[in-house]
Chains A and B, each alone.
Chain A
Amino acid sequence: EAAVTQSPRSKVAVTGGKVTLSCHQTNNHDYMYWYRQDTGHGLRLIHYSYVADSTEKGDIPDGYKASRPSQENFSLILELASLSQTAVYFCASSGGGANTEVFFGKGTRLTVV
């Protein structure tokens, strides 16, 4: 079964601190994505990657960096966390192509205080 694992599942961070969210997939997928979900809203794309060592900006990349050191791993980095980045973050992977399913992780709940 396709799997996307996120860690940690929840985190409290201090304003101005550095936060790293990790994502690991065992699907052998080329494409990975980071989304953000705010309470009462849909998901918005932050960064994505279609190959190791390369990342692309999504719709809301400001304040975030991404890193794809291997096909299996994709990290989201908040260099200077801010209150407005409190949200639930979802990682996803897909095999590419319009006719492939996207698999989501269970999410990381980040609270910045």
Chain B
Amino acid sequence: AQSVTQPDARVTVSEGASLQLRCKYSYFGTPYLFWYVQYPRQGLQLLLKYYPGDPVVQGVNGFEAEFSKSNSSFHLRKASVHWSDWAVYFCAVSMDTGGLSGKLTFGEGTQVTVIS
């Protein structure tokens, strides 16, 4: 069965500094990978998604992620963090069955705190 691991439960970053959030996946087959963000008391919003192709994908609000098959990783990056990036970030994987794109397996999330 597939699984997703986010090794960092909490990350604190200064406003304007760079951010990297780690994600490791375990999946037999072609993974479809996602990063979601959850703001307080809100649902999840899609930041970016990876489908087989270019390993670096661009998302909203300056986020990007890089897929590595050899490392089974899909790390999220942002060059300069803004206070509004204070949120919980989830990495997720979906089956490549051609359907059921919402049948996702999530990591446990990383709480990002932004300090001035």
Q: In the complex, which of the residues B42, B92, B94 contacts A106, with contact meaning CB atoms closer than 8 Å?
A: B42
- Please give, as numbers and ranges, the residues of chain B lying within 8 Å of A59 by CB-CB distance: 105
**Chain A positions near chain B (C-beta within 8 angstroms):** 4, 31-33, 40-45, 48, 50, 58-59, 90, 92-102, 104-107
- Cα-based distance from A94 to B101 in the complex (angstroms): 7
Interface centre among B49, B102, B108 (most CB of A within 10 A): B102
**Chain B positions near chain A (C-beta within 8 angstroms):** 4, 9, 32, 41-46, 49, 51, 90, 92, 94, 96-109
CB-based nearest A residue for B6: A42
- Please give, as numbers and ranges, the residues of chain A lying within 8 Å of B96 by CB-CB distance: 98
Decide if B9 touches A90 in the complex (CB within 8 Å).
no
Decide if B106 touches A98 in the complex (CB within 8 Å).
no
- Given A41-B109, A42-B107; A102-B102 close (CB under 8 Å): yes
CB-based nearest B residue for A31: B102
- Please give, as numbers and ranges, the residues of chain B lying within 8 Å of A105 by CB-CB distance: 43
Decide if A101 touches B46 in the complex (CB within 8 Å).
yes
CB-based nearest B residue for A29: B102
CB-based nearest B residue for A92: B102
- Please give, as numbers and ranges, the residues of chain B lying within 8 Å of A106 by CB-CB distance: 41-43
- Cα-based distance from A104 to B94 in the complex (angstroms): 15
How far is the CB of A79 from the nearest CB of chain B, in Å?
A: 24
- Cα-based distance from A106 to B44 in the complex (angstroms): 8
Decide if B104 touches A98 in the complex (CB within 8 Å).
no
Decide if B100 touches A31 in the complex (CB within 8 Å).
yes
- Please give, as numbers and ranges, the residues of chain A lying within 8 Å of B102 by CB-CB distance: 31-33, 48, 92-94, 102
Decide if A45 touches B103 in the complex (CB within 8 Å).
yes
- Cα-based distance from A23 to B106 in the complex (angstroms): 21
- Cα-based distance from A95 to B96 in the complex (angstroms): 15
- Given A42-B90, A98-B32; A48-B103 close (CB under 8 Å): yes
- Cα-based distance from A43 to B106 in the complex (angstroms): 6
- Cα-based distance from A74 to B102 in the complex (angstroms): 15
- Cα-based distance from A90 to B92 in the complex (angstroms): 15
CB-based nearest A residue for B42: A106
- Cα-based distance from A40 to B105 in the complex (angstroms): 15
- Please give, as numbers and ranges, the residues of chain B lying within 8 Å of A98 by CB-CB distance: 32, 51, 94, 96-99, 101
